[in-house]
Every structure is written in C-alpha cells, then in structure tokens.
A and B are shown apart, each in its own frame.
Chain A
C-alpha cells in the first residue's frame, strides 16, 4: 500500500516503513539503544533524501527515548541536574549543527558529510565494540574471569575548574566537560539525526565517571529534550521534518521495542554486544560502499528557491 510523504514529496510503501520501524525498534529494545543511528541510514538506503532522513530521524528519536526516559524517571535512576547541564550544552551544539547543516545543504555537500560522519563514527564505535566483545567471549570460553579493571578514580577532567555537585550521581565535577560533551552530542543529533546515546553512555561512564545506574536514564532525558529541540529547529529552518514518515516509523518502533527487550533477556551481554557491533559495522560498510564506488550517474539536480 502506497503512502505519500508530503515533505519528501514521494510515494513509499507504508509496510516497508512500518517494518523498518519495527525492525529498528526491535533492535533498540534488544540492545538498549535509541536506534536513530540505524533509522537514518535505512531511510537513505530507501532513497529518502538525506536531509529529510536526518530531520525525521531526530523526530523519531524523541518518541523512542521518551518511552525509556519515563521508565527511568519513575525508578529514580535519572540525574535531572546533570541532565540539565548536559542539555544546556546540547542546545548550543544542536543550534550550531543546524547552521552547519543548512550551510552544507547549500553547498551540495550535505549527503557526503552525513555519510562520512556515519562511516567514521559507526566504523570506530562498531570496531571497538566488536574487538571488546570478541575478547570477552574468548575469555569466557577459556574460563578467565573478566578482570573488572576499575579505571583510575581521577583523571585530568577532574582537575578542571568550575566544579559543581551532582547529588544523584554522587559526583563533584567541573561543568566544562559536561557542557562540551552535551554540545558534541547535540551537534551530532542535528547533523546525523541520532540521539547520540551510543557515544554519550560510554563518555559519561569513562570520562565523567557517572555511576552506571543513572547513566542511561540521564542520557535519555538529555536526548529527549535535545532531539525535540532539533526537530523544531529543523522544521523551522529547513522544513525537512516529514511528520507522516516519522509517525509510520514511531508506530513500528514503539511496538518492535517491546519484543526486542524480551528477546534481549535471553541473550548474554557479550554476545549481544558482538551482534550489535556487527550490525553497526555492516551499516558503516554499506554507507562506505556508496562513497567509494563510482555512482551510476555523476550528475545530480537540485531545485533552487527564488534566485
């Protein structure tokens, strides 16, 4: 059944969109990730213009992360104060990102830049995760107890000025790295249409030393607000948010996430991570393929507004 996307101005199959949303929702429930980094490339593979895929991806992330954030809020595993500082940085980063996004779009380099960012980030994160999880699986087979290396209690980040106390996280840390981290994630959110959880969570654990139990809730809280802000700004500056497309993805995603979460309980942690890493690497390779292989048509057209 065809459905017309008013902003993308094209007809697509509604079942493909629902399936796409459900599949990504399933994976996001399975691995506990937002899924934005899968939705946007999938939409691009489905010939949705990258500008619309990115902005609509941000909109979809709002729905999937709000569900999760709500659960953490009820359980109290959410540091509102830390989240607020993060999102203050996030708003700045996102605004900057939107500006760069519009600029790249005018220059005709947006598609390239989005693909490059995806290839680099997904390639790096996926590669590191893969190596780590394969080692963990090997160690488990050999019967070696995973050595819980506790990283040093303090690093250079904890020597920066402007310290602030975050009670829920039992943390006394400078707000500079928190703001910078928030801004970096906000920037990625607006250019890549991702929530950024896959970078935010490790950064909070290893750089800021936030206790693991509040990390996911706090990062989700920040992602909800920054993605909502990104959606609104994309809608006003670029008019690239396709609400019909977003709805189809959200409906599929919300349903898929529940089954994914159930399936996730049956798999072991390192196996899950190895699976996720392979998936992330596969997406990165697929995007890289388009970058490096000669395109079938070297020319492209883009309509211009009034000159």
Chain B
C-alpha cells in the first residue's frame, strides 16, 4: 500500500470485522475491571494491511482504524457511556534532551539528560475530552496519553526535580513538532458496536514498527485493551539514497565528490569564459 501524502487525504486501513473470527492473541492487560461482569465486553481492532510505505513527498496524513465492541450492553451503549481511546505508538528510541544556559553572554547547551525508551511518535484519538472519560489516576496506571507514557531516564541518580523538568520539556517538544498528537472526537461510533478512529500521522512519522492499541472504558472504568502492529516503511528514490549513504558510506562520499567535480567541469564547458 502506497501513500502519497498531499494527494491522498486519508490513509484508510480497513479492518476485517469478522467479529468472532478475528479474536487475536492479546497483550497483557494492565489493569482489569475489578468485577468483570458475566458477559464481559471486549474490543477488536483490525488493520487491512500491516505495512504502509510512505514516499518521500509524504506531508502527513490521517490514518483510519476501524474497530468493534463485542458483547456491548445495549443500554449503556444507548446512554453513550462506552468510551474508546485509540493510540498509535511509534518505535521507542533513546533521546537526549539538552538545555541551553547563558554563559559569558552566549547561549550554549550545558545540562543534558538521556531517556532510554521514548516513543518517537504517539498519536491519540478519543471519543470525548480525556478528562470526561476517566480519572487521571487511571490514565497514569495505564500509561495512556502523551503526558502519561512512562519515559525512563538513563541516569536515575539525578534529583527528581531535574528529571521532571527535562521530561516535561521532552513531551512539550514532541507535541510542538507534531509527533505527539491528540484528537478529541477522533473516535466515532458508526453503529452501536462499530467505531472508526482517525489518527494523525505527522509528516516526519518515523519508520519502524508502530503499535496500534485500543482501550475500552465503560462508565469511566477500564475494561479491555486490544492491539495490532503496523510497520511503516519509506519507499522511493530518496530512501535508496539514504540507505546507500549509510550502508556504503565510503562509495557515497566518493560519488558525491566525483559528482561535484563533474558538475564543476560541466559548468565550465557550458559557460565558458575564456
């Protein structure tokens, strides 16, 4: 599946909604409902493809994920008290946060802190304003939301205030660059059990394995989680250049120099002055 950024407004990853048949192996559920009812609800999401290739002119797109509720209580459903949060989490990478300070009048990087497992991207779609779905405590326990994902510092001996400060700066920077995004109302129920989640893919969405996760809440209580994997790869000429530059860097360098010499020579031929 190829996605050309500006020309195609939405990446539609269709789900195969075979309600029972696609019961997948589920990841560990962080926190189960204290008293699960007899016919427990569950949530399913499916992707029509597990691989998206984006071309180099990709300038961001919407990713649509379809999903369904199983065993939904019709009464609660009518009252609109089921809530769904869908998250697309990018691969985790170590990140260094640096802070500038004024030294002799010059602004320079002084302090830094490394965080080991920062998701490169994190986009969220919710049915409602997050505060209305459940308590902040639940979000923290589920590590759900850009402000709650657990980010582990490399140097744990630093005082907590400093770590906190760098952590806040990190989340803030990720939000400003659009890599961490939140779409309130991005999840919409199409029927009583079928929903559609629209997530934002930033123009600089990282390549690698992304994890789509759907969380189901009933009356503010977390019920179930389901996840699916999605690999994003870059395709096209520019990607080949990137690979060549990294895998055969010596040849790349020689080629770049030869190309420059050739351009200089050609320029002299075309615009001969003497």
Chain A residues within 8 Å of B, Cβ to Cβ = 2, 4-7, 9-11, 59-60, 62-67, 70-71, 74-75, 108-109, 112, 116, 224, 227-228, 231-236, 239, 241, 243-244, 246-247, 250-251, 254-255, 257-258, 261, 291-295, 297-307
Contact = CB atoms under 8 A, between A and B. Distances in A.
Contacts of B260: 59-60, 62-63, 66, 228, 231, 246, 250
Contacts, number: 183
A108 B98 contact: yes
29 contacts: A4-B57, A6-B239, A7-B245, A10-B204, A64-B264, A66-B261, A70-B265, A70-B268, A75-B274, A112-B109, A231-B253, A231-B257, A232-B257, A235-B249, A235-B250, A235-B253, A235-B256, A236-B249, A241-B253, A246-B260, A250-B260, A261-B273, A294-B107, A299-B97, A300-B173, A301-B97, A301-B98, A301-B173, A303-B96
Contacts of B100: 295, 298-300
Interface centre among B99, B172, B245, B274 (most CB of A within 10 A): B245
Contacts of A299: 97-100, 166, 169-170, 172-173
Interface in B232-274: 238-239, 241-242, 245-246, 249-250, 252-257, 259-261, 263-268, 270-271, 273-274
Contacts of A304: 93-96, 114
Interface residues of B, number: 59
B271 A254 contact: yes
Contacts of B176: 297
A243 B263 contact: no
A299 B261 CA distance: 40
Contacts of A244: 238, 241
Contact of A67 (B154, B238, B268): B268
B56 interface: yes
A233 B238 CA distance: 21
Interface centre among A70, A74, A224, A231 (most CB of B within 10 A): A231
A235 B245 contact: yes
B245 A255 contact: no
B28 interface: no
Contacts of B261: 62-63, 66, 224, 228
Contacts of B264: 62-67, 70, 250, 254
A207 to B, nearest CB: 28
Interface of B: 56-57, 59, 93-102, 105-109, 112, 114, 116, 120, 154, 166, 169-170, 172-174, 176, 203-204, 238-239, 241-242, 245-246, 249-250, 252-257, 259-261, 263-268, 270-271, 273-274
Contacts of A2: 57, 59
Given A235-B250, A235-B256, A307-B116, A11 B268 contact: no
Nearest to B176: A297
B107 A291 contact: yes
Contacts of B204: 9-10
A239 B245 contact: yes
A6 B242 contact: yes
Given A66-B264, A261-B273, A299-B169, A243 B256 contact: yes
Given A63-B264, A298-B101, 6 more contacts: A71-B273, A231-B253, A232-B256, A246-B260, A292-B105, A297-B173
Contacts of B116: 307
A6 B238 contact: yes
